[in-house]
Chain A
Amino acid sequence: MRERTIVVTHEELARRVVDRLAPDESAAFDLLARPYLNGSTGTRPGRRGRGGDGPLGIGLEEISGALTPAIVLVCGWFVTAVAEGAASEAGGRLTRSVLERLRRRPPAVEAPAEGFDPARLAEIRTSVLAKAEVLGLSQAEAALLADAVVGELTLLAAERQPPRS
């Protein structure tokens, strides 16, 4: 019998969390999130890489106050981790994940519909919390973000779960 799954995309999850945590940034989501949606999960919010904003720029990298970049990075990390975890269980998906990275598309993962049980959600919350703190969010902000990710995943699972026959 084929296992029932739900599809979670990086962008969709991030957009839902932004709507919940920073609704004032929702309208500008595309502009704020785009630099972080292309697989650049290793960067930090505000960082502009080599050269910064160059001569005649402001030259300060720590002044970002937008939440969207941190949310996108955490969601990207989560989706990639789930994809890699699933790939270790079902070999072929790893290849797909790598290909998606090479094509610089936002990764989408298929997760078992029943996979988000309370124990699994608690694990997700803990790891998201740790990642958010690494990105420089305060403990309170990180906790809020972790709760929002877990909440949106639960809602997604409930919305996408096909009715049992």
Chain B
Amino acid sequence: MSGPRPTLDVRAFPSDPSLLLILLAAGVLLSDLFFALWLAELNAPLDCSSATYPACPKDAGAMFSGTVTHLLQVLTPGMGMYALSAWLRRRRAVPLRDTAFQGAAETVERLVGQAGLGRRPTVLVGRRLRSGACVTGPLGGPHLLLGPELLALHDKGGQQRRVFETVVRHELAHLQSGDLRPQLLTTLLRWSNLYAGAFAVFALTLTLSGDDIPAGDYLFSVVRVVLLALLGELIARAYLRVREHHADLRAGTADPEGLLATMRAGAAGAAGPGLRVWLRHHPLGSDRLAVALAPSRLLASSPGRLLLGATVAGVLLATLQDLLLRIAAPGSGVSTAILCGAVIGTALTLFFAFSLWGHAWHADAPGRAWPAAAAALTVGLPVGSHLAVFTRVSGRGLTGIPPNPLLLAVLAGGALLLCGWLAALGAAWRRGDPQARRVPRFLALAVPAACAVGGWLFAMFWTWAASLLGLSFCPDFPDAPLCRLADPERRIAVSMLATFGSGPVLPAVVLVASAAIPLALFLARRPERGGWEDQTGSG
């Protein structure tokens, strides 16, 4: 007789909140760095000890100190906002022990003890929280705030007490997961994103007062700044929503029925889906109920999230390329493009891979997940490269991926092949490991393979795109070798094929890609020596 079917542990997969936090940090911090460098360059004096005017470089010491200063300047508002928000929440709060909710206070004490936290939170009643609850405060001394209407549920008994306990467990789950530290980082990044955006608009407006920028370009740049700030905000909020699902699931491990009762209560009367869903801090009650009923829904691939990832990658490609060109030696354009494409492309491939691999365990068949992922990649990458506004504020930065039909066709074809291959790889392993017991083993095989394939593909794509970008400078430099060619776009395409299609790299990539799937099928069925299953016995 077979026992109950084991449930899928979603925590076996790479954590979505961590991936989104890395995406947010990468997007915002690189923009912040570029912003700080740009301001430092404006302010730093010339150093003519090694060259003659006007070829003198900027003073290196002033550039360094200026960059650090401006980086701190852009990150400070977030720090202040975190402290202010924590103070506002604690203002007028009273210790739970000093109120009439004595029964609730004892229950909260018990739940805090069960949570096994390193630092016990100070439990307060937030007068204005009403039926809400939250955790806040400095990292070393967290505060758990509960609303009076929530506390009143405790004495009602029955199902309502279970709802109360689940809400407290949800908040304690945030503390167990150490969410205060990422919350500080998120606040810091969100505010620096807005601050840098506002400053860029200010700088653009100052430029407009001169006569060197047309009004149309100004408006276009302002729209890009706004979209870039919105992109950061959308990622931050996607992160916050995913984190809530994880806290729900953790809270539900002690009392699954209580979690369902709480989510049913929360889902009742909640607003329906709409565009505002993308801007919510918390998922809709109906979504939370659906995840509580079937946690594997958390593994479903989200085209919206993938589009955000691809767009950020586009921003990063243009920004990093521009940054490298400023500090690299003249004539090193191709090597910086290969480096940029390989680094950002590898990270982007892993972001897509984790999403598609998780989806393989969520759905029996990959379905439309991988074509949707390929579409997100094809659209997001070029769009993102045109949003990288800070490379343009200085007036001599790169533009985005050029709208060359052949280049875009290669991107679309490459995206389809890459996403299809990633989905097939995940599906192959799932056939031998449906309960996801050996995910770390799968990742040890699949991550290096994905890095090799994705790194090669995007290194080629971005080098091609960057070479085409060089053609945009031909009106100013008609005597440059590339500009004197009869059909430069075709010559660039041939050159790319010669560079990336010759030598041992392409056969190695093809070998890795074609061997990975049969290897996954074989290894997934093979029991792990000395593994958990062997030690506990299979019967």
Chain B residues with CB under 8 A of A58? 132-134, 150, 167, 170-171
- Kindly state whether residue B160 has any CB partner on chain A within 8 Å: yes
User: Please, what's the 1-or-0 string for A37-60, where 1 marks a CB less than 8 Å from any CB in chain B?
Assistant: 000000001111000111111111
Are B269 and A62 closer than 8 Å at their CB atoms? Answer: yes
Nearest chain B CB to A19's CB is how many angstroms away?
14
Nearest chain A CB to B134's CB is how many angstroms away?
4
Nearest chain A CB to B377's CB is how many angstroms away?
29
A56 to B241 alpha-carbon distance, docked (Å):
10
User: Please, what's the 1-or-0 string for A65-97, where 1 marks a CB less than 8 Å from any CB in chain B?
Assistant: 110110000000000000000000000000000
Contact residue among A32, A48, A53, A62 (Cβ-Cβ distance under 8 Å from B270): A62
B137-164 interface (Cβ within 8 A of A): 147-153, 155-156, 160, 163
- Kindly state whether residue A31 has any CB partner on chain B within 8 Å: yes
Nearest chain B CB to A51's CB is how many angstroms away?
8
Interface range, A side: 20 to 34
Are A62 and B266 closer than 8 Å at their CB atoms? Answer: yes
- Kindly state whether residue A61 has any CB partner on chain B within 8 Å: yes
Are A60 and B129 closer than 8 Å at their CB atoms? Answer: no
For A22, give the chain B residue with the smallest CB separation.
B152
A31 to B95 alpha-carbon distance, docked (Å):
12
Chain B residues with CB under 8 A of A64? 130-131, 149-150, 152-153
Chain B residues with CB under 8 A of A66? 131, 148-149, 152-153
Contact residue among A34, A35, A65 (Cβ-Cβ distance under 8 Å from B156): A65
User: Please, what's the 1-or-0 string for B487-498, where 1 marks a CB less than 8 Å from any CB in chain A?
Assistant: 000000000000
- Kindly state whether residue B165 has any CB partner on chain A within 8 Å: no
Chain A residues with CB under 8 A of B244? 59
Contact residue among B155, B170, B262, B281 (Cβ-Cβ distance under 8 Å from A55): B281
Nearest chain B CB to A22's CB is how many angstroms away?
9
Nearest chain A CB to B156's CB is how many angstroms away?
5
Are A32 and B132 closer than 8 Å at their CB atoms? Answer: no
Instruction: Knowing A35-B127, A48-B130 are in contact, say whether A54-B85 is a contact too (CB < 8 A).
Output: yes
- Kindly state whether residue B441 has any CB partner on chain A within 8 Å: no
Are B270 and A47 closer than 8 Å at their CB atoms? Answer: no
A34 to B130 alpha-carbon distance, docked (Å):
10
Chain B residues with CB under 8 A of A69? 130, 149
Contact residue among B85, B148, B174, B285 (Cβ-Cβ distance under 8 Å from A60): B285
Are A31 and B100 closer than 8 Å at their CB atoms? Answer: yes
A53 to B128 alpha-carbon distance, docked (Å):
9
A62 to B261 alpha-carbon distance, docked (Å):
12
Nearest chain A CB to B423's CB is how many angstroms away?
32
Between B101, B128, B130, B150, the greatest number of chain A beta carbons within 10 A of the residue's beta carbon is seen for B130
A53 to B269 alpha-carbon distance, docked (Å):
18
- Kindly state whether residue B378 has any CB partner on chain A within 8 Å: no
User: Please, what's the 1-or-0 string for B259-292, where 1 marks a CB less than 8 Å from any CB in chain A?
Assistant: 0001101111110000000000111010010000
Are B100 and A65 closer than 8 Å at their CB atoms? Answer: no
Are B136 and A63 closer than 8 Å at their CB atoms? Answer: no
- Kindly state whether residue A123 has any CB partner on chain B within 8 Å: no
Chain B residues with CB under 8 A of A34? 127
A28 to B285 alpha-carbon distance, docked (Å):
28
Are A46 and B285 closer than 8 Å at their CB atoms? Answer: no
Instruction: Knowing A31-B125, A65-B153 are in contact, say whether A57-B148 is a contact too (CB < 8 A).
Output: no
Instruction: Knowing A31-B127, A32-B149 are in contact, say whether A62-B132 is a contact too (CB < 8 A).
Output: no
Nearest chain A CB to B219's CB is how many angstroms away?
30
A91 to B403 alpha-carbon distance, docked (Å):
72
- Kindly state whether residue A24 has any CB partner on chain B within 8 Å: yes
Are B163 and A52 closer than 8 Å at their CB atoms? Answer: no
Chain A residues with CB under 8 A of B240? 55
Instruction: Knowing A27-B100, A64-B149 are in contact, say whether A48-B266 is a contact too (CB < 8 A).
Output: no
- Kindly state whether residue A152 has any CB partner on chain B within 8 Å: no
**Shortest 6 CB-CB contacts between residues of A and residues of B:** A59-B282, A60-B266, A53-B132, A27-B100, A66-B152, A57-B134
Chain B interface residues toward A at CB < 8 A: 85, 89, 99-101, 125, 127-136, 147-153, 155-156, 160, 163, 167, 170-171, 174, 179-180, 183, 186, 240, 244, 262-263, 265-270, 281-283, 285, 288
A-B contact pairs, 20 of them (CB 8 A): A34-B127, A48-B128, A48-B129, A48-B131, A48-B147, A54-B85, A54-B281, A55-B186, A56-B171, A59-B266, A59-B282, A62-B265, A62-B266, A62-B285, A63-B131, A63-B153, A63-B265, A64-B149, A65-B149, A66-B148
